[in-house]
Amino acid sequence: MERSCYCGELSLKDLSKEVTLCGWVAKRRNLGSLLFIDLRDRTGIVQITVREDVKVPDVRNEYVISVKGKVSKKDVPNKNLKTGDIEVLASEIKVLSKAKTTPLIIADDTDALEDVRLKYRYLDLRRPLLQENLRKRAHIVRCAHEYFDANGFIEVETPCLILSTPEGARDYIVPSRISHGSFYALPQSPQLFKQLLMIGGFDRYYQIARCFRDEDLRQDRQPEFTQIDLEMSFLDQDQILTIMEGYLKKVFKDVINVDIKTPLRRMDYSVAVDVYGSDKPDTRFDLKLIEVSEILKKSEFNGFKENETVKAILIPGKASETSRKVIDNLTLEAKKFGLNGLGVFKFINGELEGSLVKFLSDSVKKEFINKVNPSEGDLILVGASSHDRCCFAMGALRSRYARELGYIKEGTYDLLWVVNFPLFEKKDDGSYAALHHPFTRPTPETEHYLYTDPSKVLSAAYDIVINGYEAGGGSLRIYDEDMQKQVFNILGFTNEDIKRKFGYFVDAFQYGTPPHGGIAFGLERLSMIICGTDNIRDVIAFPKNLKAACPMSNAPQRVDEQQLIDLGIKIDE
């Protein structure tokens, strides 16, 4: 058996050619005088036609077979098939491997639950849709190698067994057999090492880096993931973003033939939150948050009067379609996102309607209508809370409503940079945490607030947002030893903490640190967007489920007692 070509490569240019194909039986149709077999490999499906005079072994779905035959033109083409103009007239068929009846339908439209798909992932991976997704993912990586190699970057691998350092999520830790009671951590990112490469003089680094974070999972998050990780010296923010836009332009053009117009627009974090209710705004649709705090605080409704921020969203033409049941569901959704409730108004016959209208004086109603500017039949949603909670909750409702109403046109891509994030976020106890990470440089205009009011410090950070997903993020880095120590102090690290967790990194600052900055693209997120799915598991060959478990291999599991003894570990039952 020697395969001469792939199934999906055949076309009319191959007429009369003798071929040998190998693959899986996707479908079998026996018409008595003729047997039709749809043969599938990773390139596609081709129809095999078997006449009565050809001896055929028992062939069933998902059997692995080889076929010898001649390429022939079909009498009636199949326009739904890439190879639909031709068929292969079989002269010999061999069964290479038999198959049991599969527990899921192996087709793009499968009725299997995700747990079943993950348990039998090797079967799920035969589906053309998943194979196409993984091909696109591989193409994105190939673009990274081509583009960054051509732009003077050096690919460098960094360690996977590292010192545990605080980076925002829990570390996965690895016990040392040699040093009982001591642990490595798996990297949440190569952050410190790529900065050390800049101190080491590498100037431009990149890596396809595996990363690990022990955090609660969701549709677009996995415990192990891959970053296209980069760092550069002696470049300012504009230069870094220009280089990254070149890569994104190449990816979209090469992988899915979409032209991205550059330079990409930039949006301040404060605008993103105030206007779109998100630090990763989906700007493919025009619903925006409308600031109505000063107006509705003059009402008699305590829910408006007693809260810091009140925001409205205008939904064009949806008043008549929004029943009491829909309003009740929206209110429940609002509570999930942290709002105590949701005000709902309809603009009918030039007047506001709704249960809260009785709390608005005529002058307040007039001001509110002038600010929101509704048209006949429009729906107005209003939420109130602390500033960030109100904005983010209303932003989540904005996105949900847009999806349900079909406001987002499929196959459209909107890219932008979100910039000028706060450097710190204030926790409930009044202490500060780094919004990105502790090594992010403040903007020159606000760095003096490090010593007076850290809440006012903005960061030289930038996130690339595509269709409402954060597809990557980075920043200029601190390269001044004193500034780095001040940031550590604001974050509450003692000198002992700094020495134990970052000692080798801080020491390196004493030997000449270049100005530098970098970024990391989430490969799975970028692949997910390119492939048009909202489930990150659709672009990973062997993903974990929402419990961070692998239904196929049953990982994680207990290990042998001897392994624990070797590591000096005792399990507390």
Q: How far apart are CA 281 and CA 271, in angstroms?
A: 10
Does the pLDDT at position 167 exceed 70?
no
* Residue 277 to residue 398: CA distance in whole angstroms: 8
Q: Are strands 351-353 and 343-348 parallel, antiparallel or unpaired?
A: antiparallel
Query: Domain limits of the chain?
Result: 7-97, 130-268+415-540, 285-404
Q: Average pLDDT of 152-157?
A: 98
Q: 130-268+415-540 has which fold? A: BirA Bifunctional Protein; domain 2 (3.30.930)
Q: Position 366: which residue type?
A: K
For residue 328, pLDDT over 90 is answered with no
- Exposure of 246 in the CB half-sphere (CA atoms within 13 A): 12
Q: How confident is the model at residue 551 (pLDDT cuts 50, 70, 90)?
A: very high
Which of 64, 60, 71, 56 is CA-nearest to residue 13?
71
Q: How far apart are CA 26 and CA 37, in angstroms?
A: 7
Query: 507-517 burial string, b = 16+ CB within 10 Å, else e?
Result: ebbeeebebbb
The C-alpha atoms of residue 306 and residue 41 are separated, in whole angstroms, by 64
CATH architecture of the domain with range 285-404? 2-Layer Sandwich (3.30)
**What pTM value is reported for the model?**
0.93
The pLDDT value given to residue 319: 84
Topology (CATH level 3) of domain 7-97: OB fold (Dihydrolipoamide Acetyltransferase, E2P) (2.40.50)
Q: What is the pLDDT of residue 250?
A: 98
The pLDDT tens digits of the residues spanning 421-434 come to 999 998 888 899 99
Give residue-wise pLDDT tens across range 275-310.
999 999 999 998 999 999 999 999 999 999 999 999
Q: Tokens 């960061």 sit at which residue?
A: 459
Mean pLDDT of 126-154: 98
For 180-201, the pLDDT digits (tens) are 999 999 999 999 999 999 999 9
- Condensed to tens digits (0 to 9), the pLDDT of residues 311-324 reads 999 999 888 877 77
For 556-571, write each residue's pLDDT tens digit.
999 999 999 999 999 9
C-beta separation of 212 from 548 below 8 A:
no
Radius of gyration of the chain (CA): 29
What mean pLDDT is reported for the chain? 94
- Antiparallel, parallel or unpaired: β 516-522 and 224-233: antiparallel
- For the ranges 391-405, 468-482, 514-528, the lowest mean pLDDT is seen at 391-405
